[in-house]
Amino acid sequence: MKYNYDKSALKGLSIMPFLNQVKTRNKMIEAASDEMPQSIFNVNRVAAALHPAWQHVKIAKVTDHGDAKSYLLIADKEKGTEKLAYFRASQYVSVELNIDGALVNKPYTIRSNPADALGAGSSYTLTVKLTNPAYASKHILDNWKEGDSLSISGPLGDFYYQELRDAKHVVALAGGSGITPFYSMAAAIVDGIEDFDMTILYGSRSSDGILLKEEIEELAERSKGRVKVVHILSHEEKEGYEHGFITAELIKKYAPEGDYSVFMCGPRAMYDFEDGEMAKLGLPKRRVRKEMSGDYLGVEKNPDYQAPQEQEFKLTVDIRGQKQTVACKAGESLLWAMERAGIAAPSRCRSGECGWCHSRLVSGKYFCPKETDGRRLADEKFGWIHPCCTFPLSDIEIYVYPIVR
């Protein structure tokens, strides 16, 4: 069989390069490094950029709001963080704190526009308000200053708009510092990053105490009608403001006709009140969302909680075979007891949902509020708990998986 091709192009080629190919390859191999070659898939690079376990940041600017402050955080390149991870509007980060020897991780919403995380000037803004009890917030407000270095988690949480689940119009119920996720959403709407309309019903005690009032109203003005803000004052009657609490009637007054979602962020007392108001609205369950990223406080007020006679118990913590026994007060979460003792316990949301503190119960009795029990049925059946919302009813031993660095 003959091949029909032009052989003239091959006649000018020397055969020597082919004969020397083995020698050439051997020389290249000898000159190469002894280290194994490393290959990283692009999808892994993207995952590492979007979901870092930890980020190192510096405080570039502090803005005082009276009983709250805003902190502009930038990447700390000296410690290896080149830029901050991109986030969905209203996600949060967990901040690592050392408060007089207690090792604490506290969640705070990234208040800024997601676009601020992009480019050379990558930044986050956290707004921290003095709370009651003022443990972590007081430490932050009293101690954080420009130039300080911090360690924070990557962006976390699923309290953000999802087109397949949420209505095209969101009625946002905000209480106090609960305005921060909706500020981020509003900024994203103005910037064209998010595509939905939002009416914010913002509850405050008095007109003088409205956090970020000018800033959120400026965003509403720039939104071309897509973001609206209504202020509700509980302790003051004033022209131009609604008075009282955010009731079902008030929601109906400002909600659009037809379908809408309700997002809420604020203190637990607000959630307890709004649960009753949501029942009056008759919205489908998928249309009501709550931001849950804080400690469960006041367990003694829970009607299902049977307070034990003992006021203090022994909590034995086993981390990779190293056991430590600490005191845990009745009405205090296991996570609080570990942190107070200086144990680096894993946590992110502190409200029973994220699963970062997922630990195995070895022995003991406990109480977990139904409204914060984010465990799977199998977890409950086979003895797994979330220490952040688990309260002792006896001496307890648990196996804790350490923080991964």
In angstroms, how far is CA 116 from the centroid of its own chain? 17
Q: Which residue has the higher pLDDT, 317 or 29?
A: 317
* Confidence grade of residue 5 (pLDDT, cut at 50, 70, 90): low
pLDDT tens digits for 20-32? 888 888 998 889 8
For residue range 227-259, what is the model confidence (pLDDT) as tens digits?
Answer: 999 999 999 999 999 999 999 999 999 999 999
pLDDT at 2 over 70: no
Predicted local confidence at residue 23, as pLDDT: 87
The whole-number pLDDT of residue 403 equals: 76
Kindly report, residue by residue over 197-213, the tens digit of the pLDDT.
Answer: 999 999 999 999 999 99
Q: Which domains does the chain have, with CATH numbers?
A: 50-152 (2.40.30.10), 169-290 (3.40.50.80), 312-399 (3.10.20.30)
Residue 1 confidence (pLDDT) above 70:
no
Q: Strand, coil or helix: what is 18?
A: helix
pTM for the structure as a whole: 0.88
Nearest to 304 by CA among 371, 216, 376, 387: 371
pLDDT in tens, 348-391: 999 998 999 999 999 999 999 999 999 999 999 999 999 999 99
The Cα-based distances of 334 to 219, 292, 362, 396 in angstroms read: 41, 18, 14, 9
Query: Which pair of tokens denotes residue 293?
Result: 């990223």
Q: Is the pLDDT of residue 80 over 80?
A: yes
Phi, psi of 17, deg, nearest 5: -55, -35
Give the C-alpha separation, 255 to 234, whole Å. Answer: 20
Beta strands in 132-195 (DSSP E): 149-152, 169-175
